[in-house]
């Protein structure tokens, strides 16, 4: 049985956390284990800032800060021969890191990918040596070492799954079969020209799913600092409860529409091969967490969870009989896609088409839309500060009157529904409300359909 175990930044963020993680790995029941780790907490943000530096003195100071963070951590964990062996590998990686920061080509569109992915190379090295100090046969591997292939635009890559699986059969599988515990860098893969390409913030979850897919693993475990998927954000709803089991579809909807438990793209690589996924808390390893698989668990409750994505904006474009002009709609979407703007929802009527995007994307979107011939567009309206609520449950499209029940809760909160998306997914109903009302709506929905059903 092969289990892929991924640990996030807070789980490897200190000497104490690293020891805790190492104990979880050692005590795990699986015979064959593969570990994936993020950079230590705060390091990726630090590296993003470093990638924007132009002053040589600032760069050298950043290099020293980065070095001190990892060396101080290592010296609290290792002594003697283990420390000497660690420093030999560390120095090799650190020399490359210094070269990238001081001499890297900032005009290269993938320069930031290279810099921001450096943190994982050092957290995984430290964790691997913690395991070695406990008598485990472990090896630190980079994404290039084990064959994670990527393609796409800077800072937003995706894995090439078939090619990755082929390379892992040669580079990784023999080590796992021999009982070695590889500790692999998350967050990025390698392009055909041997340049690192990152998978977006939080992309180490996705990396772990890609590795699980490539190894045909029996289980993927995402170890984080939360108890699993919750019925709502505990910061908003203190009485939120953990969800024991979910389907891939339910987890994917929640991850995409605001639940910050998994990277939204984590689900697909494991769904393809029916690999079950567990989300567990590395600070409470005894807790069962949430199990995600292709069956899920059907319940009689209307809702399992309510997620929210905030700081959004509705852009409404008016044009005579626009729904009868598909080329016009295509042109609008093409303009928005030029800046890789994510459209969270879309709605049409006879003479209008409305898009839901993030507030941060409004300025560049308007610049693109204003390049369309003025004769084709009557007006463009912008409604700022709205939030998308995602209600997830396995009975949403089969239960008669479900929309009425949910929107009666919205009415209780005295909120207007600005947009609705129903039917695109079998397990979710999504709607938009003003930001000022989102907390009230979530509280009423959770009380009516979750808390009162417990």
91 and 202 both lie in a single domain: yes
317 and 230 both lie in a single domain: no
263 and 381 both lie in a single domain: no
Q: Is residue 300 part of a domain?
A: no
Of 225, 259, 293, the domain-final residue:
293
| Element of type H or E holding 38 | none
Ordered DSSP codes for 346-363: EEE-SSEEEEEEEGGGHH
Question: Positive or negative CA dihedral for 437, 438, 441, 446?
Answer: negative
CA distances from 55 to 59, 446, 452 (A): 6, 51, 59
136 and 174 both lie in a single domain: yes
Cβ(388)–Cβ(417) below 8 Å: no
Q: Is residue 298 part of a domain?
A: no
Cβ(354)–Cβ(365) below 8 Å: no
Q: Is residue 415 part of a domain?
A: yes
Please state the pTM of the whole predicted model: 0.91
220 and 333 both lie in a single domain: no
Q: Is residue 251 part of a domain?
A: yes
CA-wise closest residue to 408 among 438, 435, 448? 448
CA distances from 222 to 11, 105, 285, 335, 438 (A): 11, 35, 12, 37, 29
Residue spans of the chain under pLDDT 50: none
- What is the C-alpha separation between 157 and 151, in angstroms, rounded? 5
Domain that holds residue 65: 2-293
Q: What is the pLDDT of residues 390-419, one digit of tens each?
A: 999 876 766 677 788 889 989 999 999 999
| Domain count within the chain | 2
Q: In CATH, what number is assigned to the domain containing residue 37?
A: 3.40.1160.10
Q: Is residue 299 part of a domain?
A: no
CA-wise closest residue to 386 among 352, 333, 426, 347? 347
Q: What is the pLDDT of residues 265-301, one digit of tens each?
A: 999 999 999 999 999 999 999 999 999 998 755 555 6
CA-wise closest residue to 439 among 385, 383, 389? 389
Strands 138-141 and 188-190 turn out to be unpaired
| Element of type H or E holding 163 | helix 161-171
Q: Is residue 124 part of a domain?
A: yes
The residue with tokens 């998978």 is 199
pLDDT (0 to 100) of residue 299: 59
Q: Tell how many helices (H) and how many strands (E) occur in the chain.
A: 16, 18
345 and 236 both lie in a single domain: no
Question: Positive or negative CA dihedral for 327, 333, 336, 339?
Answer: negative
pLDDT (0 to 100) of residue 373: 81
What is the chain's length? 454
| Element of type H or E holding 402 | helix 402-412
CA-wise closest residue to 188 among 167, 211, 218? 211
CA-wise closest residue to 186 among 117, 236, 241, 136? 117
């Amino acid at each position: 049985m092969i289990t892929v175990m991924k640990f996030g930044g807070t789980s490897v963020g200190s000497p104490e956390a690293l020891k805790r993680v190492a104990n979880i790995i050692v005590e795990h029941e699986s015979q064959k284990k593969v570990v994936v780790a993020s950079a230590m907490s705060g390091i990726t943000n630090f590296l993003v800032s470093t990638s924007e530096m132009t002053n040589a003195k600032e760069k050298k100071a950043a290099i020293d800060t980065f070095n001190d963070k990892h060396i101080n951590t290592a010296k609290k964990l290792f002594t003697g021969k283990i420390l000497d062996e660690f420093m030999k590998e560390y120095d090799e990686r650190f020399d490359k890191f210094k070269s990238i920061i001081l001499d890297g080509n900032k005009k290269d569109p993938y320069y930031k990918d290279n810099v921001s992915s450096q943190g994982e190379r050092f957290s995984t090295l430290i964790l691997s040596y913690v395991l070695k100090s406990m008598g485990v046969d472990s090896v630190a591997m980079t994404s290039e070492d084990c064959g994670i292939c990527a393609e796409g635009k800077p800072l937003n890559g995706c894995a090439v799954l078939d090619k990755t699986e082929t390379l892992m059969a040669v580079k990784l599988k023999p080590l796992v079969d021999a009982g070695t515990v590889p500790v692999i860098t998350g967050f990025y893969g390698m392009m055909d020209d041997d340049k690192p390409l990152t998978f977006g913030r939080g992309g180490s979850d996705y990396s772990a799913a890609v590795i699980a897919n490539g190894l045909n693993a029996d289980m993927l475990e995402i170890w984080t600092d939360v108890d699993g998927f919750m019925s709502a954000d505990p910061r908003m709803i203190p009485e939120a409860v953990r969800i024991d089991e979910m389907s891939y579809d339910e987890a994917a909807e929640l991850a995409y529409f605001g639940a910050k438990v998994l990277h939204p793209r984590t689900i697909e690589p494991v769904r393809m091969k029916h690999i079950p996924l567990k989300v567990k808390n590395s600070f409470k390893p005894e807790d069962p967490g949430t199990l995600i698989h292709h069956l899920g668990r059907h319940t009689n409750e209307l809702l399992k969870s309510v997620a929210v994505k905030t700081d959004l904006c509705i852009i409404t474009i008016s044009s005579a009989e626009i729904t009868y002009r598909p080329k016009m709609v295509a042109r609008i979407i093409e303009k928005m896609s030029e800046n890789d703007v994510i459209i969270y929802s879309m709605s049409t009527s006879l003479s209008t088409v409305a898009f839901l995007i993030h507030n941060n994307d409004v300025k560049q979107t308007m610049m693109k839309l204003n390049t369309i011939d003025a004769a084709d567009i009557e007006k463009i309206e912008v409604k700022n500060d709205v939030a998308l609520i995602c209600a997830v449950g396995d009975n949403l499209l089969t239960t008669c009157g479900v929309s009425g029940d949910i929107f009666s809760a919205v009415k209780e909160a005295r909120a207007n529904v600005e947009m609705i998306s129903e039917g695109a997914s079998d397990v979710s109903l999504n709607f938009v409300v003003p930001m000022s009302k989102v907390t009230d709506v979530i509280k009423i929905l959770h009380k009516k359909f979750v808390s009162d059903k417990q």
